[in-house]
Amino acid sequence: MLFEVLAKALEVAERTTSRTQLVAIVSDLFRKAEPDVVDKLVYLLQGRLWPDWLGLPELGVGVKLLIKAISKAYGVRESEVEALYGKLGDSGKVAEQLRTTKAPSTGGLAKFVQKPGETAKLTVAEVHEILSRVALATGEGSRDIKINLIASLLSKAGPLEARYIARLVEGRLRLGVGDATIMEALAVAYTGSSANRPVIEYAYNVRADLGNVAKVLATRGLEGLKGIAPTPGIPIRPMLAERLSDPGEILAKVGGRALVEYKYDGERAQIHKIGDKVVVFSRRLENITHQYPDVVEMAREGLKASEAIVEGEIVCIDPDTGALRPFQELMHRKRKHDIHEAIKEYPVSVFLFDALYVDGKNLINKPIRERREVLSKVVEESERFRLSEALLATEPTKLEEFFLKAIEDGAEGVMVKALHDQSVYQAGARGWLWIKYKRDYKSEMIDTVDLVVVGAFKGRGRRGGKVGALLFAAYDKATDTFQTVCKVGSGFSDADLEKMDELLKPYVIPHRHPRVISDMEPDIWVVPALVAEILGSELTLSPQHTCCRGAIRKGVGISIRFPRFIRWRPDKSPEDATTTEELIEMYRSQLRKIVEEVTEGQPSS
Indicate which residues carry an active-site annotation. 263
Instruction: Indicate the pairing of strand 430-438 with strand 240-243.
Output: parallel
Minimal distance in Å, beta carbon 254 to ligand ATP?
14
Site for ligand ATP in 264-293 (CB under 6 A): 264, 268, 283
Cβ distance to ligand ATP smaller for residue 372 or 463: 372
Would you count residue 43 as binding ligand ATP (CB under 6 A)? no
Q: Are 471 and 454 in contact (CB under 8 A)?
A: yes
Cβ distance to ligand ATP smaller for residue 201 or 313: 313
CA 258, 259, 262, 268 dihedral sign is negative
Minimal distance in Å, beta carbon 263 to ligand ATP?
4
How far is it, in rounded angstroms, from Cα 245 to Cα 238?
22
Cβ distance to ligand ATP smaller for residue 373 or 533: 373
Q: Are 42 and 210 in contact (CB under 8 A)?
A: yes
Q: Is 313 helix (H, G, I), strand (E, B) or coil?
A: strand
- Choosing from 27, 152, 321, 388, the residue that interacts with ligand ATP (CB under 6 A) is 388
Size of the site for ligand ATP (CB under 6 A): 13
Site for ligand ATP in 11-40 (CB under 6 A): none
Minimal distance in Å, beta carbon 193 to ligand ATP?
31
Interface mask (CB under 6 A) for ligand ATP, residues 133-172, using x and -? ----------------------------------------
Q: Which residue is nearest to ligand ATP (CB)?
A: 268
Cβ distance to ligand ATP smaller for residue 53 or 482: 53
CB count, 10 Å around CB of 152?
A: 24
Q: In what order do the strands lie in the sheet with 413-418?
A: 240-243, 430-438, 413-418, 258-263, 390-393
Minimal distance in Å, beta carbon 426 to ligand ATP?
12
How far is it, in rounded angstroms, from Cα 160 to Cα 84?
17
Q: Which stretch binds ligand ATP (CB under 6 A): 120-128, 262-270, 293-301, 495-503?
A: 262-270
How far is it, in rounded angstroms, from Cα 143 to Cα 65?
8
Cβ distance to ligand ATP smaller for residue 154 or 241: 241
Name which of 385, 389, 429, 394 is nearest 412 in CA terms: 389
End-to-end CA distance of the chain: 65
Minimal distance in Å, beta carbon 436 to ligand ATP?
5
Q: Are 37 and 13 in contact (CB under 8 A)?
A: no
Name which of 191, 225, 186, 187 is nearest 205 in CA terms: 225
Minimal distance in Å, beta carbon 539 to ligand ATP?
22
Longest dimension (CA), the chain: 97
Beta bridge partners of residue 434, listed in sequence order: 417
Would you count residue 436 as binding ligand ATP (CB under 6 A)? yes
Distance of CA 557 to the CA centre of its chain: 34
How far is it, in rounded angstroms, from Cα 246 to Cα 352?
26
Minimal distance in Å, beta carbon 373 to ligand ATP?
16
Cβ distance to ligand ATP smaller for residue 72 or 263: 263
Name which of 375, 377, 378 is nearest 364 in CA terms: 375
Minimal distance in Å, beta carbon 198 to ligand ATP?
21
Minimal distance in Å, beta carbon 354 to ligand ATP?
7
Cβ distance to ligand ATP smaller for residue 42 or 269: 269
Read out DSSP for 140-181?
TTHHHHHHHHHHHHHHHS-HHHHHHHHHHHHT-------HHH
Would you count residue 240 as binding ligand ATP (CB under 6 A)? yes
Would you count residue 244 as binding ligand ATP (CB under 6 A)? no
Minimal distance in Å, beta carbon 239 to ligand ATP?
8
Q: How distant, in Å, are the alpha carbons of 77, 209, 590 from that of 228?
A: 52, 11, 52
Q: Which stretch binds ligand ATP (CB under 6 A): 23-31, 261-269, 292-300, 580-588?
A: 261-269
Would you count residue 415 as binding ligand ATP (CB under 6 A)? yes
Would you count residue 460 as binding ligand ATP (CB under 6 A)? no
Q: Is 592 helix (H, G, I), strand (E, B) or coil?
A: helix
Minimal distance in Å, beta carbon 28 to ligand ATP?
35
Would you count residue 261 as binding ligand ATP (CB under 6 A)? yes
Name which of 328, 271, 321 is nearest 295 in CA terms: 271
Cβ distance to ligand ATP smaller for residue 370 or 501: 370
**HSE of 188, CA atoms in CB hemisphere, 13 A:** 18
- Choosing from 99, 128, 163, 263, the residue that interacts with ligand ATP (CB under 6 A) is 263
Cβ distance to ligand ATP smaller for residue 353 or 492: 353
Work out the angle at residue 4's Cα, subtended by the Cα atoms of residues 111 and 45, and round it to the nearest 5 degrees: 100
Would you count residue 260 as binding ligand ATP (CB under 6 A)? no
Residues contacting residue 394 through CB under 8 Å, at least 6 positions apart: 251, 256, 257, 258
- Choosing from 241, 254, 260, 524, the residue that interacts with ligand ATP (CB under 6 A) is 241
Cβ distance to ligand ATP smaller for residue 1 or 391: 391
Would you count residue 353 as binding ligand ATP (CB under 6 A)? yes
| 3-class SS shares of the chain: helix, strand, coil, % to 5 | 45, 25, 35
How far is it, in rounded angstroms, from Cα 347 to Cα 325?
10
Q: Which stretch binds ligand ATP (CB under 6 A): 37-45, 99-107, 255-263, 495-503?
A: 255-263
Cβ distance to ligand ATP smaller for residue 173 or 250: 250
How far is it, in rounded angstroms, from Cα 498 to Cα 468?
10
In the complex, the residues that contact ligand ATP under the rule CB under 6 A are 240-241, 261-264, 268, 283, 313, 353, 388, 415, 436
